């Protein structure tokens, strides 16, 4: 086979992959803007993940579809967002108790931190499979099971979250587009789990 033919075959694949990467970065910006309401984070990730699933299935989609999905996900997603921030507040209180030197503080702090990480991963996994009409309670229950049953995928999402935090610490604006990469990772983890 001639090098020209090989190059012709690879260029569309490369263009497609780069296009998906660019779409992830754009989706990260949309997720960040939609998350400005603080309790809207789960709905924003759900809309972003659904947008990326559409793009990988070559079904099109754009800002209008993202906005419609965000509004639909927000119907039950705001309660998940409120619960998430309450859990973060409890984890902060737990850390403060550990720092105060309470007896048994370090083990309790470690358990609290692991629980917070597990709940965040379950939230990402639930958002990755959300579709209009889905109930968040059922999504979270299934995502909790998958978080435990698929530790490799869960660790991948933890790594994505750590990358986002490191990006925010090093170059704050970089954390915004990286949110789309975290949503893409959650979609990939769920698709991988579904093929098992």
10-residue mean pLDDT profile of the chain (196 residues): values are 49 74 89 90 94 87 91 91 91 82 79 88 94 92 93 90 83 85 91 84
Q: Which residues of 115-154 are buried (b: 16+ CB within 10 A; e: fewer)?
A: ebbebbbbbbbbbbbbeeebebeebbeebbebbeebeebb
The confidence score (pLDDT) of residue 162 equals 87
Neighbouring residues of 184: CB distance < 8 A, sequence distance ≥ 6: 20, 24, 27, 52
* Residue 183 and residue 49 in contact, taking contact as beta carbons nearer than 8 Å: yes
Handedness of CA 81, 109, 147, 166 (dihedral sign): positive
What single-letter DSSP state applies at residue 190?
Answer: H
Rg, C-alpha atoms of the chain: 19
The reported pTM is 0.84
The confidence score (pLDDT) of residue 19 equals 78
The confidence score (pLDDT) of residue 6 equals 46
The confidence score (pLDDT) of residue 65 equals 93
The confidence score (pLDDT) of residue 8 equals 47
Whole-number Å distance between alpha carbons of 183 and 186: 5
The confidence score (pLDDT) of residue 11 equals 56
How open is the CA angle 56-58-63, to the nearest 5 degrees? 85
């Amino acid at each position: 086979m001639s090098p020209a033919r090989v190059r012709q075959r690879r260029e569309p694949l490369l263009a497609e992959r780069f296009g998906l990467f660019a779409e992830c970065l754009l989706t990260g910006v949309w997720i960040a803007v939609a998350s400005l309401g603080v309790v809207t984070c789960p709905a924003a990730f759900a809309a972003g993940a659904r947008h990326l699933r559409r793009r990988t299935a070559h079904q099109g989609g754009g800002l209008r579809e993202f906005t419609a999905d965000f509004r639909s996900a927000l119907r039950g997603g705001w309660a998940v967002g409120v619960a998430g921030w309450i859990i973060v507040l409890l984890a902060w209180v737990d850390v403060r108790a550990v720092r105060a030197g309470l007896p048994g503080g370090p083990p309790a702090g470690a358990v609290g931190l692991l629980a917070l990480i597990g709940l965040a991963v379950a939230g990402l996994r639930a958002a990755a499979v959300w579709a209009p009409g889905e109930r968040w309670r059922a999504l979270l229950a299934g995502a909790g099971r998958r978080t435990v049953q698929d530790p490799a995928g869960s660790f991948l999402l933890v790594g994505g979250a750590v990358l986002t935090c490191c990006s925010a610490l090093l170059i704050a604006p970089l954390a915004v587009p990286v949110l789309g990469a975290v949503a893409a990772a959650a979609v990939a983890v769920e698709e991988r789990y579904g093929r098992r």
